[in-house]
Amino acid sequence: MQDSTKGEERELSGLWINRCNDCVFEEVTIITKNSPHGIPLKLDEGKANHPTFINKLIFDTPYKDPMVLDNVLTNVLVKRLETTDGN
C-alpha cells in the first residue's frame, strides 16, 4: 500500500482513496463483517478544488463514526450512504 506505514496493512479492510482527483465512484460496496477490527474506508488527501465523489456508499454493517478514517485534507465527498445486512 502506497504511503502506508508498517502495520497499516492489518488495519485497512476495505478501500483507501489517496490522491484521487476529479474522480466519480458511482457505487462502492464494502463488506466488513468478516473484518470487525479493520477500517473499512480511508479517505486520504487530495486537491480540494478537484473533488472526488462517491455517489452511493454501501456498508454491510450499521454505520458508526470510527468506520471511516479521514484526513483533514481529503477531497472525497459521499453523496449517499446505505447499510445492508449483507444478504
pTM: 0.82
**13: confidence class by pLDDT, cuts 50, 70, 90:** low
Q: Where are the beta strands (DSSP E) in 1-87?
A: 12-17, 24-25, 28-30, 39-43, 52-54, 57-59, 68-70, 76-78, 81-83
User: Is the pLDDT at 54 greater than 90, yes or no?
Assistant: yes
Predicted local confidence at residue 23, as pLDDT: 96
Return the domain boundaries, the chain: 8-83
pLDDT band at 86 (very low <50, low <70, confident <90, very high): low
Supply φ then ψ for residue 9, to 5 degrees: -65, -20
Strand order in the sheet with 52-54: 24-25, 52-54, 76-78
